Amino acid sequence: MELVYHDISRIDEVKSFIQTWEDGSDYISCNTSGSTGAPQLIQLSKKQLAHSAMRTIDYFGLKAGMKAGLALSTEGIAGKLMVIRSMLAHLELHVLPVKKNPLEAVETSLDFIALVPTQAIAFLNDSKNRQKETTVLIGGAPLTSPQHQAIFSYWKHAYQSYGMTETASHVALRHITAEEDAPYHAMNGISFNEENSHLVIYCRDFDKAGVHTTDCVELLSSDSFRYIGRKDFVINVAGNKVHPEAVERKLNSHIAGEFMIIPFPDETYGQGIGLVLTQEGNTLSVEAFKAIEGLNAYEIPRKQTILDRLERNINDKLDRKSMIEAGKTYVWQPIL
C-alpha cells in the first residue's frame, strides 16, 4: 500500500491504525455507532475484518495500484476497512480530510471511495465534473429521495451499503439506480433469514446462530431483502405499528429540506405521527398528505415542529434516539 496524504494532520491517526493491524494480536477494538443506544466497545477478529475486506475487493475488482480515498475516520468501522482493503489489495490510498466535502481539492481521479450521504451531496454541489468514473460506496445513513436522484444522475457506479460494526462493515449492497426501493443483495459468503420479520445475517465468520438484528425487512430470498425500518423506532398509533423510516421514504419527494418522523405524545392514542421540519413554509395540509399515493391514514403526520437542524451522531447518522427523547418536550403544532 502506498499512502498519499491530502491532509497531513491525519498522519498519526492512520499510522497508529496500521501499527495496530500489524501488531501480532488477533483482535481489534471497535466502537458501535450507537444508533439505538449508547455506543459499545466490541472486539472483532482480524480474520473477520480481512474476510470482509476481501469480499469488497473481489466484488469491485480492486487491483494493485488502483487509487482509493479515505474520507472517513479510522475510529469507525468504515474507515478501518478502507485502510485494510488498501493494504490487502495493495492500493494507493489517498488520505483525505474528514469534512463535509473531502474531495474539494482532490484533482487525482480515484477508483474507489466510501462516503456518507452528506459528503457525497456536498461534493456534487461543488463538483466541476470530477470523479465521475469513481466507484462510490455510500453508507452510514439512509438516502433521501433528492440525494438518491442526485447521486444516480452523476455516478454510474454508486452503491448503497447495508451493514454494521458487528458484521465488520457491509454485508449487502444495492446499485443506486432510478429505482429508489431496490433490494439489497448479499455479498459473497453472506446469507439472510428472518425471525419475526427481523433480519438475521449468516456468515462463516459469525457465530452459527447468526447476527440477529432489529431491522425489519421484506425477505425476498436467502440473499436479498428490502429494508423497511428498525424495530426500535416503531411508532404505535392506536395499535397500528408505523415505521418512521418507511413513512419518510413515502414523503421524500413531497417535502423539501431535511425532515424526520418521530412520535409525539397523544392523550388518546398514546403516540401520534410527528413531522420535524428544518424549513419554514414547508408544510403540507392533512388533505395534501391524504392525496399521497401509498400513505396510509394512520401514517399521516398530525402535528409538526420546526428546528434549525436534525441531531446526528458521530457517524453522521440521524440520531433518532436523541430526537425521539427530545420530542417529548417539543412544542407541537397541529397540521391543518
Which pTM does this prediction carry?
A: 0.84
Banded model confidence at residue 252, pLDDT cuts 50, 70, 90: confident
CA–CA separation, 217 vs 229, rounded Å?
A: 7
Q: What does the block give as the cell for 120?
A: 457525497
Chain mean pLDDT for the chain: 91
Using one digit for the tens of pLDDT, what is the confidence trace for 85-120?
999 999 999 999 999 999 999 999 999 999 999 899
Q: What is the mean pLDDT of residues 310-318?
A: 75
CA–CA separation, 107 vs 130, rounded Å?
A: 8
> Quick one: pLDDT at residue 332?
94
State residue 284 phi and psi, 5-degree precision.
-105, 155
Closest CA to 321 of 312, 329, 330: 312
CA–CA separation, 41 vs 35, rounded Å?
A: 14
> Quick one: pLDDT at residue 315?
62
Closest CA to 80 of 173, 187, 169, 186: 169
All domains of the chain in start order, with CATH: 2-231 (3.40.50.12780), 234-334 (3.30.300.30)
Task: Kindly tell me the sign of the dihedral angle through the C-alpha atoms of 85, 14, 94, 166.
Answer: positive
Helices (DSSP H) in the chain: which residue ranges?
A: 11-21, 46-60, 77-89, 117-126, 145-154, 244-251, 286-290, 320-327
> Quick one: pLDDT at residue 280?
65
> Quick one: pLDDT at residue 25?
95
Task: Kindly tell me the sign of the dihedral angle through the C-alpha atoms of 54, 56, 59, 64.
Answer: negative
Q: What is the mean pLDDT of residues 46-70?
A: 97
- Lowest-pLDDT range, 7-11, 142-146, 155-159, 320-324? 142-146
- Are 41 and 31 in contact by the 8 Å Cβ rule? The answer is yes
- Lowest-pLDDT range, 56-60, 126-130, 300-304? 126-130
Provide the percentage of residues in the chain whose pLDDT is more than 90: 74
Tell me the residue type at 70. L
Which residue bears the cell 500500500? 1
Alpha-carbon distances of 235 from 61, 65, 298, rounded to whole Å: 42, 49, 10
Banded model confidence at residue 269, pLDDT cuts 50, 70, 90: confident
State residue 60 phi and psi, 5-degree precision.
-95, 0
Using one digit for the tens of pLDDT, what is the confidence trace for 174-196?
999 999 889 999 999 999 999 98
* Residues in Cβ contact with 108 at an 8 Å cutoff, skipping those fewer than 6 apart: 4, 67, 94
Maximum separation of any 2 CA atoms in the chain, in Å:
63
- pLDDT above 60 for 35: no
Q: Strand 224-230 to strand 270-277: parallel, antiparallel, or no bridges (unpaired)?
A: unpaired
For residue 175, list its beta bridge partners.
Answer: 159
CA–CA separation, 277 vs 295, rounded Å?
A: 18
State residue 274 phi and psi, 5-degree precision.
-105, 140
